[in-house]
Amino acid sequence: MDYNFIAGVIQERVMHDQELIIAQFQATLAKIINNSRWFVYMVMTSRGYFYTGISTCPEVRVTEHNEGKRGAKCLRGQRPVTLVWRIPYPELKSVALKLEHKVKKLSHRQKQEIVDLYAAGKVFVFPNGVRLW
Encode the chain in three state secondary structure: CCHHHHHHHHHHHHHHHHHHHHHHHHHHHHHHHHHCCEEEEEEECCCCCEEEEEECCHHHHHHHHHHCCCCCHHHCCCCCCEEEEEEEECCCHHHHHHHHHHHHCCCHHHHHHHHHHHHCCCCEECCCCCEEC
Q: Are residues 22 and 43 in the same domain?
A: no
Domain that holds residue 98: 37-132
Q: Are residues 17 and 65 in the same domain?
A: no
- The pTM assigned to this predicted structure is 0.67
**pLDDT mean values, one per 10 residues, the chain (133 residues):** 70 74 70 71 95 92 87 82 87 84 93 89 65 58
Give pLDDT, residue 31: 61
- The pLDDT tens digits for 50-70 are 999 999 889 999 999 998 878
Q: Are residues 24 and 73 in the same domain?
A: no
Q: How many domains does one find in the chain?
A: 2
| Percent residues over pLDDT 90 in the chain | 33
Q: Are residues 55 and 108 in the same domain?
A: yes
CATH number of the domain residue 68 falls in: 3.40.1440
